[in-house]
Structure 1
Amino acid sequence: MNTLLVPLDHTASAEHLLAYANKLAVRWPAEIVLLYCQPPAADAAAPTSPSGADLAAEEQRLRSLVERLRYQQLTRHDGRRIRYHYRVLRGCLHDHIAAEAARCAAQLVVMSLEHVDCGRQEAPGNHAAAIADLIACPVLVVPPGRRPLPSRLVFSADFSTLPLHTLPRLSALAEAFPGTLDLVQFYAPTERSRRLALKQAQTRALRQLTWPHAHTHLLEDESALEGVSDFCARQQAQLLIIAPASRAELLRYFDACYTTTQAYHTRIPVLVLRSAGTPAYTVCCGKCAERLTREQMQANLLLQSARPA
């Protein structure tokens, strides 16, 4: 049985996230592990950590949400098909996500773009980028709002450097996300001499994938990220798949300048595909925050230098 690990918080988008995960679990099919991490209270007068009664109350809150959506969203048959498991833990999601993904052998983590962790809201997307950096399995980042499962998909990567052994992990998700798949790669004007090599790399990647309707696109653009957002808009894509080559590249996808302006790729789910065998970094929340700040500054500098004067 396939397994979706779904971290939830108490934001308004949590209901939309679970509704999306329910649709995915019915289609695939898969079971759902709901994970809620309760951080210590910020109030000095409150207990330093949640009690067993607090955790039991949070689990009941999750069960109530599940039953309400099961009744409102799913048919009786589909509602009975999904098996739910509940994990309520003390601490921050950063501290537990790697161990929980390994414990339940998750094939996919489905999380909200605006997830709140450690009692604070990260800049939109930064938290999702940090979680994707901590685990090896793919992460599906879902923006707020109700949406259907995708039938038009775009896969953007540098296929000339993407390891082919990464692609079977994506092919394993073909049943969950059937539809038309467009493989797109952008190159700068200075790279025109590499067009043939880039096209051949796309063809090799295409042969490793199991989508019945897949096409390749090789396009020239100074900014690959802005190019892919425009391409997704033209194709009316409903899911963007990315395989970032570095953490800085991943952070750029969720940069505040794109989320603030509601660039197209921030308004559709984004599936982050890690290279198989790439080590995940399991560090504490403080170190994660320091690293994120440092890399976000670097990413912003790169974005500013790439923009025309």
Structure 2
Amino acid sequence: MKTILVPLDHTAAAEYTLAYANKLAVRWPAEIVLLYCHPGAGPGQPPTNLPEQEQRLRSLVERLRYQQLTRQDGRRIRYHYRVLAGCLHDHARAEAARCAADLVVMGLEHVDCNRQAPPGNHAAAITELVSCPVLVVPPGRRPLPNRLALAADFTSLGLNVLPRLSALREAFPAPLDLVQFYSPAQRPQRRQLKQALNQAAAQLTWSLITPHLLEDDAPLEGGSEFCARTQTQLLIIAPGSAGQLLQYFDRCYTTTRAYHTQIPVLVLRAAERPAATEACCEKCAERLAPPSARRLLPDYAAMHWA
């Protein structure tokens, strides 16, 4: 049985997150673990009102699954409740490991510890903490996707990413577009890019896969325009860093309602990211810098002068 971990807050947008997870749980099928982290208790203080918070979750579940789903589908989903004191960031890794989550479904504007962060910031932080894919759902009611797009740099994509994506095929059985962007300076490498794109398509288990090799010096904007043109309903990305992930949810895109911020985004962790090595002084910077080629000077003392 698959397991979906759904972190919730008590905002109105949480209903859209749970409604999407319900539909996904029926299709896959999967059980749902609801996680709410109550920010009222500080460090060293006993948790308060946790039973009341769990009752609020149960009321939300009972209301949504019978309003949104048929009675048969609503009864089919198994729910588990986890109400903890503290911040989601403090518990996400342990809870995902405890329930062996196959997928985390969370809202784009999730509120943690009573702090309202820019859209996507909490999702980017949770992606760094858990090893399973994270599905970021923006506010609004929407059906499960009937068209998917995977936008990535397939020449540097980790070997563990594609098998992890194939494990979700039953949850998202829809046509899949593979999109590789390249800059004008990469035109001589078009053949290598095309080979990497075709190799990725051969490793995936979707029945209908269409590769696209597109020239664009701004891959993020190009990917959003591609999704809008093809009416993609789920964008899959594999960013190489947390900073690159945050670019997808940058304030300029959420303010202008860019297309990719209006559809669910499935984030695949590309690889374990090495910690950056910083130098504390100029001597350490010299030691950590890559060795440069030695400059060969003529040895005038060894020459015989007439």
TM-score range, shorter chain: 0.7 to 0.9
Task: Please name the residue that 2:59 is paired with.
Answer: 64
- Secondary structure of 2:245's counterpart equals helix
Task: Please name the residue that 2:82 is paired with.
Answer: 87
Task: Please name the residue that 2:8 is paired with.
Answer: 8
* Structure 2 Cα separation of the partners of residues 134 and 163 of structure 1: 18
State the Cα RMSD in Å: 1.5
Does the 8 A contact of 1:136 with 1:279 survive in 2?
A: no
Distance change >3 Å, CA 241–CA 69, structure 1 → 2: same
* Structure 1 Cα separation of the partners of residues 45 and 253 of structure 2: 37
TM-score (norm: length of structure 1): 0.86
Taking the TM superposition and a 5 Å limit, the aligned residue runs for 1:188-227 are 188-227=183-222
Where structure 1 has 5 or more consecutive residues not aligned to the other structure, the ranges are: 282-309
TM-score (norm: length of structure 2): 0.87
Paired AA for residue 29 in structure 2: P
* Structure 1 Cα separation of the partners of residues 244 and 169 of structure 2: 25
Task: Please name the residue that 2:165 is paired with.
Answer: 170
Task: Please name the residue that 1:36 is paired with.
Answer: 36
The sequence identity of aligned pairs, in percent, is 72
How far has the Cα of 1:161 moved from its partner?
0.3
* Structure 1 Cα separation of the partners of residues 214 and 274 of structure 2: 32
- Secondary structure of 1:128's counterpart equals helix
Taking the TM superposition and a 5 Å limit, the aligned residue runs for 1:136-285 are 136-275=131-270, 278=272
Greater CA drift, 69-78 or 28-37: 69-78
Taking the TM superposition and a 5 Å limit, the aligned residue runs for 1:45-64 are 50-51=47-48, 54-64=49-59
- Once the two structures are superposed, residues 169-195 of structure 1 have per-residue CA deviations (whole angstroms, 9 ceiling, x without a partner) of 100000000111000011110110111
* Structure 1 Cα separation of the partners of residues 220 and 268 of structure 2: 16
- Secondary structure of 1:133's counterpart equals helix
Larger radius of gyration: 2
Does the 8 A contact of 1:40 with 1:49 survive in 2?
A: no
- Secondary structure of 2:144's counterpart equals coil
Where structure 2 has 5 or more consecutive residues not aligned to the other structure, the ranges are: 276-306
Task: Please name the residue that 2:117 is paired with.
Answer: 122
Does the 8 A contact of 2:241 with 2:273 survive in 1?
A: no
Q: Which of 59, 65, 73 lines up with 1:78 in the alignment? A: 73
- State the aligned residue count: 274
| Runs of 4+ residues deviating >4 angstroms | none
- Secondary structure of 1:186's counterpart equals strand
Question: Which is helix-richer, 1 or 2?
Answer: 1
- Secondary structure of 1:248's counterpart equals helix
* Structure 2 Cα separation of the partners of residues 201 and 280 of structure 1: 24
- Secondary structure of 1:141's counterpart equals strand
- Once the two structures are superposed, residues 173-221 of structure 1 have per-residue CA deviations (whole angstroms, 9 ceiling, x without a partner) of 0000011100001111011011100010011111111110111001001
